[in-house]
């Protein structure tokens, strides 16, 4: 089944499935730290994560057996440490491309690493890099994608799923195979130093780019316009005649 599902060169060829785990990222990081090396492209997939994580210690909640919660091991030793966000761009574009195939042009990348359908979140990415000295060693790519779940906790606002949008169930392993193939293709593009193309594709899909919108920063809600993403991964916002740069958690998107 793996051969049919994972058609790429290496991503997904070593698939480890778990019924339940605290976090696939944590599981994979622990496995990498052990003496036996894991092959690049190893995928850890869980039916249920009971302590899944998003950015900056946010939790990721997912109903067992209905969504995709998985992590991929990559070894981007060809990247410089200051190029870490390039990997974020490549993975975001890959996930965006697969979802666009099903959901159309209403799919966007919400900086820094959420995937939106119109104004609702359908997926998220958490990349954890392992640095040795001044060099990249490993990257753990964690992805959560709402697929067949339709009921979410009351405190989770503006959430959607494949089934909510398209009113049918989707085969999880088939979607996983498509996503792994797309990530592998963008990763190889990154390895070939196609940074300009990746950056163009990333900016073309940024949620709210070029639009006047409401954001919360510096203690108040203010109007601004996203005009780009810095090489370091900071959000670049034009507001009140100024250009400001924001790291994650320094600015909040106010729901449109």
Q: How many residues does the chain have?
A: 256
> What is the predicted pLDDT for the residue at 146?
96
Q: How far apart are the C-alpha atoms of 171 and 242, rounded to whole Å?
A: 47
Q: Assess if CATH 2.30.30 describes domain 212-253.
A: yes
> What is the predicted pLDDT for the residue at 34?
82
Q: How far apart are the C-alpha atoms of 145 and 123, rounded to whole Å?
A: 4
Tokens representing 66? 């209905």
> What is the predicted pLDDT for the residue at 112?
94
Q: How many helices (H) and strands (E) does the chain have?
A: 6, 12
Rg for the chain, CA atoms, rounded? 18
Helix pair 172-191, 84-103: axis angle to 10 deg: 140
Fold agreement (2-204, 212-253): no
> What is the predicted pLDDT for the residue at 156?
80
Per-residue pLDDT tens listing for the chain (256 residues): 344 568 788 999 999 999 999 999 999 999 998 866 899 999 999 998 876 555 444 444 578 899 999 999 999 999 999 999 999 999 999 999 999 999 999 999 999 989 999 999 999 999 999 999 889 999 999 999 999 999 988 878 899 999 999 999 999 999 999 999 999 999 999 999 999 999 999 999 999 999 999 999 999 999 999 999 999 999 999 999 999 999 999 999 997 6
- 107-110: strand order across its sheet: 15-21, 43-49, 68-74, 135-145, 120-132, 114-117, 107-110
Using DSSP's 3-state secondary structure scheme, residue 228 falls into: strand
> What is the predicted pLDDT for the residue at 59?
47
Q: How far apart are the C-alpha atoms of 68 and 162, rounded to whole Å?
A: 11
Domain residue limits, the chain: 2-204, 212-253
- How many Cα atoms within 13 Å fall on the side-chain side of residue 208? 25
Within 10 Å of residue 223's Cβ, how many Cβ atoms?
13
Within 10 Å of residue 128's Cβ, how many Cβ atoms?
15
Q: Assess if CATH 3.30.930.10 describes domain 2-204.
A: yes
Tokens representing 254? 């106010």
* CB crowding 192-222: b at 16 or more within 10 Å, else e: eebeeebbebbbebbbbbeeebebebeeeeb
């Amino acid at each position: 089944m793996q051969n049919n599902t994972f058609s790429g060169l290496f991503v997904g060829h070593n698939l480890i499935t778990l019924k339940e785990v605290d976090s696939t990222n944590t599981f994979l990081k622990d496995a990498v730290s052990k003496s036996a090396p894991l092959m690049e492209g190893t995928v850890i997939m869980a039916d249920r994560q009971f302590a899944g994580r998003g950015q900056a210690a946010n939790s990721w909640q997912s109903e067992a057996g209905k969504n995709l919660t998985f992590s991929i091991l990559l070894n981007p030793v060809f990247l410089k440490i200051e190029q870490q966000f390039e990997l974020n761009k490549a993975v975001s574009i890959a996930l965006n491309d697969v979802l666009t195939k099903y959901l159309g042009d209403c799919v966007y990348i919400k900086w820094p690493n959420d995937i939106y359908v119109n104004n609702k979140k359908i997926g998220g990415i958490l990349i954890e890099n392992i640095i040795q000295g001044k060099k990249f060693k490993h990257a753990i790519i964690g992805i959560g994608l709402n697929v067949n779940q339709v009921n979410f906790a009351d405190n989770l606002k503006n959430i959607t799923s494949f089934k909510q949008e398209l009113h049918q169930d989707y085969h999880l392993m088939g979607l996983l195979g498509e996503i792994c193939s797309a990530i592998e293709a963008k990763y190889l593009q990154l390895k070939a130093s196609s940074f300009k193309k990746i950056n163009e594709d990333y900016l073309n899909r940024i949620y709210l780019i070029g639009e006047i919108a409401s954001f919360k920063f510096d203690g108040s809600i203010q109007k601004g316009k996203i005009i780009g993403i810095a090489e370091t991964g900071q959000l670049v916002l034009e507001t009140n005649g100024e250009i400001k740069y924001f790291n994650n958690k320094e600015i909040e998107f106010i729901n449109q």
